[in-house]
Amino acid sequence: MEYLVLNNGIKMPMEGIGTFLLSPDEAEQSVLNALKTGYRLIDTANAYVNEKAVGRAIKKSGITREDIFLETKIWPSFYEQEDAIEKTLERLDTDYIDLLLIHQPAGNYIAGYRLMEKYYKEGKIKAIGLSNFNKEQIQEILDICEVEPAILQTEVHPYNQEKELKEFLDKYGIAIQAWYPLGHGDKTLLEEPVFNKLAKKYKKSTAQIILRWHIQNGTIVIPGSKNPDHIRDNFYLFDFSLTDEEMSEINSLNQDKRYYTSTPELLDSYVKMVPPVDEQK
Residues lying near ligand NAP in the complex (CB under 6 A): 18-20, 43, 131-132, 153, 179-185, 190, 205, 207, 222-227, 230, 233-234
In the bound complex, what is the minimum distance in angstroms from residue 233's beta carbon to ligand NAP?
5
Kind plus residue range of the DSSP H or E element containing 262: none
For ligand NAP, the closer CB: 198 or 244: 198
Which residues lie below 8 Å from residue 139, measured CB to CB, with a gap of 6+? none
* Cα distance between residue 94 and residue 46, in whole Å: 15
Q: Using H for helix, E for strand and C for coil, what is the string for 56-110?
A: HHHHHHCCCHHHCEEEEEECHHHCCCCCHHHHHHHHHCCCCEEEEEECCCCCCHH
CB of 148 to ligand NAP, least distance (A): 19
Please choose, from the candidates 45, 32, 37, the residue with its C-alpha nearest in 3D space to the C-alpha of residue 15. Answer: 37
Is 48 a residue of the active site? yes
Residue 73 · residue 47 · CB < 8 Å: yes
Q: Which one of 48, 109, 113, 180 is the catalytic residue?
A: 48
In the bound complex, what is the minimum distance in angstroms from residue 137's beta carbon to ligand NAP?
14
Residue 72 pairs in a beta bridge with 100
Supply the minimum distance, in Å, between the C-beta of residue 185 and ligand NAP: 3
Amino acid at 196: N
Whole-number minimum distance, CB 8 to ligand NAP, in Å? 20
Nearest to 29 by CA among 59, 54, 5: 54
Q: Regarding beta strands 97-102 and 69-74, do their DSSP bridges make them parallel or antiparallel, or are they unpaired? A: parallel
Looking at the Cβ atoms of 124 and 226, the one nearer to ligand NAP is 226
Distance in angstroms (rounded) separating the CA atoms of residues 233 and 190: 14
Length of the chain: 281
Smallest distance, Å, CB 210 to ligand NAP? 9
Q: Residue 18 or 149: which CB sits closer to ligand NAP?
A: 18
Query: What whole-number distance in Å separates Cα of residue 75 and Cα of residue 97?
Result: 15
Closer to ligand NAP by Cβ: residue 46 or 234? 234
| CB closer to ligand NAP out of 227 and 248 | 227
Nearer to ligand NAP among residue 169 and residue 222 (C-beta) = 222
Phi, psi of 8 (to 5 degrees): -110, 15
Could you tell me the end-to-end alpha-carbon distance of the chain, in angstroms, rounded to an integer?
A: 32
Active site residues: 48
